[in-house]
A and B are shown apart, each in its own frame.
Chain A
Amino acid sequence: EAAVTQSPRNKVTVTGGNVTLSCRQTNSHNYMYWYRQDTGHGLRLIHYSYGAGNLQIGDVPDGYKATRTTQEDFFLLLELASPSQTSLYFCASSDQQRGQNTLYFGAGTRLSVL
């Protein structure tokens, strides 16, 4: 089973605050993703990347930046956090180059913006 580690697991910040969510995968997967999960919306894709230095825009990118610094590390940045960004955030990875398109998720980060 692929290993995807997210940190922190829980985070509380205030409106206008700066937040960085971290994700590391240790299986050399080329694709990494950030999702948010909200009641009534399922999982929605924020940003994704197919390699170090690459960034692709997802379906709900507004208010988020992301950066893929290495094959292993993918960060999600909220530079001016708003209460609407209170959510459960998941990072995931997959290895589509080898045709193994299975998505592996981290444990999630619960973010509250007060």
Chain B
Amino acid sequence: GQQVQQSPASLVLQEGENAELQCNFSSTATRLQWFYQHPGGRLVSLFYNPSGTKHTGRLTSTTVTNERRSSLHISSSQTTDSGTYFCAIASSSFSKLVFGQGTSLSVVP
């Protein structure tokens, strides 16, 4: 089945630094989604991005489908960016999403 590897597992940044989170997957992804989990547990969708590049605010998601990888770039990090970031992949429009293990980000002042 589909395997999803995220790196790094954890990351500590000084406020203002940039971060690059990676997601690699084992087979073609028709659906790819990035999520952010608040320290309190709430999960929110950041991007639905099976191919190409998308931006929102200080976040950029880039997916290179034929290389089976996606990245999430956070620019000018803030302490409120702290939390866990997940990518999730599905091989077809109607198959279930498989989640990576997540990247735990801590941004310190």
Contact = CB atoms under 8 A, between A and B. Distances in A.
A42 B96 contact: no
Nearest to B48: A102
Interface residues of B, number: 20
B86 A43 contact: yes
Contacts of B88: 43, 103
Interface string A82-114: 000000101000001001011111011010000
Contacts of B101: 40-42
B97 A105 contact: no
Interface in B80-109: 86, 88, 90, 93-94, 96-97, 99-102
The A interface is mostly helix, strand or loop, or mixed, namely strand
Given A42-B101, A48-B96, A96-B93, A103 B41 contact: no
B27 interface: no
Contacts of A102: 33, 45, 48
A58 interface: yes
Interface of B: 31, 33, 35, 41-45, 48, 86, 88, 90, 93-94, 96-97, 99-102
Interface of A: 33, 40-45, 48, 58-59, 88, 90, 96, 99, 101-105, 107-108, 110
23 contacts: A41-B101, A42-B86, A42-B100, A42-B102, A43-B88, A44-B99, A45-B96, A48-B96, A88-B41, A96-B94, A99-B93, A101-B31, A101-B48, A101-B90, A102-B33, A103-B35, A103-B88, A105-B42, A105-B43, A105-B45, A107-B41, A107-B42, A108-B41
